[in-house]
Amino acid sequence: MTSDHAATSDHAAHDPAEIDKHVRVYITVFVALMALTIITVAVSYLDLSTPIAVTVALFIATVKGALVACYFMHLISEKKVIYAVLALTAVFFIALLALPALTHNNGYWIP
């Protein structure tokens, strides 16, 4: 059993100074997420056309999602196996979201 494992946890190599650095990043990300939430709501009050409003809202949501995934979920410094799992998931997810667009003639968001 000892031949194929190391006696550490996923993050045991982190020292206290590194954790302090992480905490500062978490607070910065929190401030950024708050600011982006306010921007999302503020933009919705502008009289934008539907395609532009959708694009802007989804762009901001994607940036917020990326911040959560990269820093809170530590994807910015994750192991290759996790990236492989997520890459495969992304392929299927994109195919899933593309299906309605490929099978519908009305055009995106246009009634």
Partner 1 sequence: MDIPYTYQVRRDTGLTNGKIGIWLFLASEVMLFGALFASYILIRTGSPSWPRGDTILDVPMATFNTIVLIGSSVTMVMAWASLMRRQFGTFRLYMGATVLLGGVFLVVKYFEYSHHLHLGEYPSTNNFLAVYYTLTGLHMLHVIGGMVVNAYFWGPGAKLYKTNPVWFTNRVEHSGLFWHFVDLVWIFLFPTLYLL
Interacting residues toward partner 1 by CB under 8 A: 1, 4-12, 14, 16, 19, 22-23, 26-27, 29-30, 33-34, 37, 40-41, 44, 50, 53-54, 57-58, 60-61, 64-65, 68-69, 72-73, 79-82, 85-86, 88-89, 92-93, 96-97, 99-101, 103-104, 106-111
C-alpha distances in Å from residue 7, one per residue of 11, 16, 81: 12, 19, 19
Q: How far is the CB of 76 from partner 1 (least distance, A)?
A: 13
For residue 89, the minimal CB distance to partner 1 (Å) is: 4
Identity of the residue, 76 or 108, whose beta carbon is nearer to partner 1 in the bound complex: 108
The CA-atom distances, in angstroms, between 3 and each of 6, 7, 10, 80, 98 are: 8, 11, 18, 21, 45
What is the spatial distance between Cα 111 and Cα 109, in angstroms, rounded to a whole number?
Answer: 6
Q: Quick one: DSSP state of residue 2?
A: G
Q: Least Å distance between CB 104 and partner 1?
A: 5
